Amino acid sequence: MSNEQAPPSRLLVDVTINGGKVTPANQQLQAAVKEQIVIRVNSDAADELHLHSTPEHSFNIEAKPAQSFVFTVDVPGKVDVELHKLNKIIATITVQ
């Protein structure tokens, strides 16, 4: 989602998937509505990243380092960042 007037602040989440283990897990994060949220992934396996925001976002993760996924959340709420195939919650972002 491109945003011409992106606010200067943004939330960066670094995620590592290695041998079926993901870090971080169940992390609690804060963000503002419409703030850019960047998920940076280093992975050794293909997976899917699901953002349980309203509306939802979904990204395909490939087995390679340094992939970035950018999105914003418009409706306040608690958004789970889920790694689908591993069935793990990376973080819950409280967006307000």
Partner 1 sequence: MTADRSVAVLAHGLGGSTDLPIPLSYALIGAAWALTFTFAVVAVAWRRPRFDPDKPGRALPRWVTTVIDAPATRWVVAIAALLFAVWVAVAAVFGPQGPDNPLPGVFYVLLWVGLVALSLAVGPVWRAISPVRTVHRLLGQWSLGLRYPEWAGYWPAAVGLFAFVWLELASPDPGSLGAIKVWLLVYLVVTLAGALCCGARWCARADPFEVYSVVASRLSVLRRNRDGRIAIGNPFDHLPSLPVRAGTLAVLAVLLGSTAFDSFSATPQWRGFVDDHTDSVATATLLRTAGLVVFAGVVAGTFWLAARTAGGVDAQRRRELPGLMAHSLIPIVIGYVFAHYLTYLVERGQQTVIQLFSLGTDVHYVLSMHPSLLASIKVSCVVAGHIAAVIAAHDRALRLLPAGHQLTGQLAMMLVMVGYTFTGLYLLFGG
Task: List contacts with partner 1 (CB under 8 A).
Answer: 25-28, 48, 50, 52-56, 58, 73, 75-80, 82, 84, 87-89, 92, 94-96
The sign of the dihedral angle between the CA atoms of 50, 66, 38, 26 is positive
The CB-of-77 to partner 1 minimum distance in angstroms stands at 3
Residues 6+ apart with CB under 8 A from 82: 49, 50, 51, 52, 88, 89, 90
The CB-of-28 to partner 1 minimum distance in angstroms stands at 6
The CB-of-21 to partner 1 minimum distance in angstroms stands at 11
Decide whether 8 or 32 has the Cβ nearer to partner 1: 32
Residue 59 and residue 18: Cα distance in Å, rounded? 18
